[in-house]
Copies of this chain bind each other. A is one copy, B any other.
Amino acid sequence: MKKVYIGIIGFGNIGSAVAEFIKKNHQVIIANAGIDLEVKTVCDTRKLHIPYSLTSNYLEVINDQEISVVVEAIGGENPAKKIILAALNKKKHVVTPNKEAIAKNMKTFLAAAAKNKVQLLFEASVGGGIPIIQPIKESLAGDKLSQIYGIVNGTTNYILSKMSLEGKDFATALKEAQDKGYAEPNPTSDVEGYDAAYKAAILAMVAFQAEVDWQKIYREGIKQISQDDIQYAKDIGYVIKLLAIAQRDEGKLDVRVHPALLPKKHPLAAVSDNYNAIYVKGAPVGPLMFYGQGAGGGPTASAIISDIIIAANSKNKNQNSKLRKINLKKIGEVKSKFYIRLEVPDRVGVLAGISKIFAQKKVSIAAVLQQETDGQVVTLVIMTDQVAEKNLTAALAAMKKRPIVKKVCNVIRIAS
């Protein structure tokens, strides 16, 4: 039987779970894949009592002739980038859950992997334990993919679920997520959509073999979502989710991250708590959804171990390493339906005035909900038909100059 020695760089939550399950599932892996995996060396700066050779110098891992697969589990762009490149250049297969390093450097990494005839695999970087990268590359190799919608950030999905199902406000739900360990003490990367943007970039690059500069991805977090928005959305048959979107659009790629109203019947609408799911549309396959735990040591280790097995069995298998150039669609050009919540004065003619401005900017109104009120202010919820975002932006700008609108409380795209 083939024996495969593994080096793990970074022995935190994920690195240690990989070692644990390589040992625990040793017989299962032999039965499933016919190979004998063994962790040989761990690189970590801490003093650890572990039954593996321990070093604080990653060069001892990547220079080891016996080790054929290196797991990079440090996280963050640096020094992970340097280590991944060095390992690839030493002709080691590299497996990593590092979404930031992969999103920012996929092209460079793939080129180094191709040059050295080794594999760079990163199933765990999107959706934790959910098989999505490999199914896109392999199971959907015969399909022309058109759309990916991902709920790829468990923290924000947990917060939005609590707001939706339990009526909590954003701050309370965030605190609860932090108490449960689903959110970091500094939640910026999750709440502002950075984490989801890394994953959107990775999904877009894998699905469309295109180079995507993650910094050009339009990104909007969930902080501005209020309980009011959640309730109005519910009343009209929608839930609000933070979506990572990657789709073909008239020869360009439309890649973005933002909260969106999703019809209750959409398969993603039922994905709650800290679960992740990726919805993929392709031809001829139609719509698919992949659902599971998007984070945590165990699920992430599952994805890493399967990548280790794929790498070990790869025999210099070609991997498609070329990412073509393609233009990203600018957010102003993207067409969506919109949900708009406004506060307007409670007097005759306001709706007519708003309608007129919308019409001038070619924004067509699909529905208006007017909430009852005693006071001087009425809340209006307007749903538009499909329109280029720049038209809507222009309409809202024009409206703000006029006394017919007191406040634009929120504008949320509607996904379908």
Contact = CB atoms under 8 A, between A and B. Distances in A.
A96 interface: no
A308 interface: yes
B285 A141 contact: no
A288 interface: yes
Given A34-B320, A289-B289, A298-B284, A135 B142 contact: no
A293 interface: yes
A165 to B, nearest CB: 10
A138 B29 CA distance: 11
A129 B291 contact: no
B302 A292 contact: no
Interface in A271-329: 271, 277, 282-293, 296-299, 301-306, 308-310, 313, 315, 317-318, 320
A290 B33 CA distance: 22
A207 to B, nearest CB: 10
A352 interface: no
A17 interface: yes
Interface string A97-126: 000000000000000000000000001000
Given A135-B139, A270-B267, A291 B288 contact: yes
Contacts of A283: 21, 24-25, 298
Given A123-B139, A283-B298, A298-B284, A291 B293 contact: no
A318 B290 CA distance: 27
A140 interface: yes
A45 to B, nearest CB: 25
Number of copies: 2
Given A139-B134, A209-B32, A302 B320 contact: no
A308 B25 contact: no
A28 interface: yes
A298 B315 contact: no
Nearest to A27: B144
A228 interface: no
B25 A143 contact: yes
A8 B303 CA distance: 35
Contacts of A143: 25, 28, 302, 305-306
B144 A28 contact: yes
Given A32-B320, A267-B291, A290-B290, A285 B129 contact: yes
A277 to B, nearest CB: 8
B302 A282 contact: yes
Interface in A133-181: 134-135, 137-144
A75 interface: no
Given A21-B284, A287-B292, A288-B292, 13 more contacts: A21-B283, A25-B142, A25-B143, A32-B320, A123-B139, A131-B139, A138-B306, A142-B301, A142-B302, A142-B309, A284-B299, A289-B290, A291-B291
